Structure 1
Amino acid sequence: MPLPSSLSDARAVVFDAYGTLLDVHSAVQRHAAAVGPEAEALSATWRQKQLEYSWVLSLCGRYAPFWTLTERALDHALARHPDVDRAVRPALLEAYRSLDAYPEVASTLEALRAAGLRTAIFSNGDPAMLDAAVRAAGLHPHLDAVLSVEPAGIFKTSPRAYDLVPERLGIGAAGIVFVSSNRWDVAGAAAYGFTPVWVNRAGLPDEYPDLAPARVIRGLDGLLD
């Protein structure tokens, strides 16, 4: 297939996992009846605190596995929403290990590989949780590599974390398109020197004007346009 101009200089397309390939809210949605009317608010708090913990630890020069932060964030969310029965906690955590992929993910990854591009994940997730999630979503056959920040001992958006991608793929930053639904991650990728693409599914207003994405798309299949 002919590549769009935005991918013409790329050798690899690297994706964030959580929120980009995998729907982070699908864990709570799967158990919405048990969670009750605060399901949407609980899921939002869970995600917000999970990310906040990663940023705070990185700024403190500390690191803990992302799964640990995911558990702590859920505990905080349940404390913030005391009407939710805490008995649902194990089911929510189990569901987070097998989040739903967005419907266009597998076909987009296959199309990119058919065009001769390497595909990879680069995520804050630790290797065990990434492996479980990618296998559950059936994405392993469509990926050349699944990379975690864990060897760097620091989360995105630290340049030390992004260093792992060119090191592991053997490709310079200029040859890597980095795709994320998280605007802060897109900013980090832009600052590092990747070609960043923002998957703005929700039509959110832009942030970080000095660290702009090369493209904004509404779904991953927009990469192929």
Structure 2
Amino acid sequence: MRHTAYVFDAYGTLFDVHAAVRRQAERIGPDAQRLSELWRAKQLEYSWIRTMMGAYQDFWSLTEQALDFALASLKIGDASLRADLLSAYWTLDCYPEVPHVLKGLKASGARLAILSNGSPAMLAAAVKSAALDGVIDEVFSVDPVRRFKTDPAVYDLVTMGWRLYPNAVSFQSSNRWDVAGATKFGFRTVWINRSGQPDEYRDFEPALILPSLEGLLTA
């Protein structure tokens, strides 16, 4: 069933979070993949811990802290590499199908939004770099509520901002934990399982599982 409101997670769903490290892979050497995975894992861990503690810092601060931990763990002390990796995070590559799918949904009359942990400045830069500013109607950052996903207040940004009931929203994320949180909130959810991960959170199942966003045009 086509929806009139499609909301997308940003990092990992629209934008490839591993693109920054991939651009510097030759400089990093054999630890490149491990660095990227650890950077991402700590970035998310810090968001969950700070939400539980009620000690909010914006996502850019957590991104910097997570990279510092990853570099220290792998004993990489190149300051210029750190600067280049952080710079690249502002212009992450979007996945190949993203522009085509979003334009197709937009042409069908749907409203499109991003709902992300990212700070407003991070998201504005990523959207502009990927040339998606012409198709995205609104970008919702967690900054106003000072909490991160999966806090219900984050998902409520969409329903309050667009004055919609949760079940009127189709929410897409590549993060299974994000899908679980959005499902519990009441969104119709689609898990974009790009890497073929096993399912979890089976008590909060998505309405649909797809290997990429492409399937949204026929679902």
Whether 1:208 aligns to 2:207 is no
Whether 1:145 aligns to 2:144 is no
Measure, in 2, the Cα distance between the counterparts of 1:218 and 1:86.
37
* 3-state SS of paired residue (2:134): helix
Whether 1:222 aligns to 2:215 is yes
Q: CA deviation at 1:22?
A: 0.0
Whether 1:52 aligns to 2:45 is yes
Partner of 2:122: 129
Measure, in 1, the Cα distance between the counterparts of 2:137 and 2:192.
21
Measure, in 1, the Cα distance between the counterparts of 2:42 and 2:82.
16
Residue-by-residue CA offset, 1:73-114 (whole Å, 9 max, x unaligned): 000000111146343000000000000000100110011111
Whether 1:42 aligns to 2:35 is yes
1:144-223 correspondence to structure 2 within 5 Å: 144-223=137-216
Q: Which amino acid aligns with 1:175?
A: A
Measure, in 2, the Cα distance between the counterparts of 1:30 and 1:69.
21
Q: Which amino acid aligns with 1:103?
A: P
Q: How many pairs were matched up? A: 218
User: Pick from 13, 18, 24: which aligns with 1:31?
Assistant: 24
Q: Unmatched 5+ residue regions in structure 2?
A: none
Q: Is the 8 A contact 1:28 1:39 kept in 2?
A: yes
* 3-state SS of paired residue (1:146): strand
User: Pick from 8, 11, 15: which aligns with 2:4?
Assistant: 11
Residue-by-residue CA offset, 1:165-224 (whole Å, 9 max, x unaligned): 111122221110000000000000000000010000100000000000000000101111
Q: Which amino acid aligns with 2:133?
A: H
Measure, in 2, the Cα distance between the counterparts of 1:145 and 1:87.
34
* 3-state SS of paired residue (1:34): helix
Give me the CA root mean square deviation. 0.9
Question: How much identity, in percent, do the aligned residues show?
Answer: 53
| TM superposition score normalised by structure 2 | 0.97
| TM superposition score normalised by structure 1 | 0.95
Q: Which amino acid aligns with 1:47?
A: R
Q: Which amino acid aligns with 1:224?
A: L
Q: Is the 8 A contact 1:35 1:84 kept in 2?
A: no
Q: Is the 8 A contact 1:152 1:161 kept in 2?
A: yes
Q: Which amino acid aligns with 1:178?
A: F
Measure, in 2, the Cα distance between the counterparts of 1:98 and 1:145.
19
Residue-by-residue CA offset, 1:39-69 (whole Å, 9 max, x unaligned): 0000000000000000000111121100000
Q: Unmatched 5+ residue regions in structure 1?
A: none
Partner of 1:100: 93
Measure, in 2, the Cα distance between the counterparts of 1:169 and 1:144.
11
Measure, in 1, the Cα distance between the counterparts of 2:169 and 2:76.
45
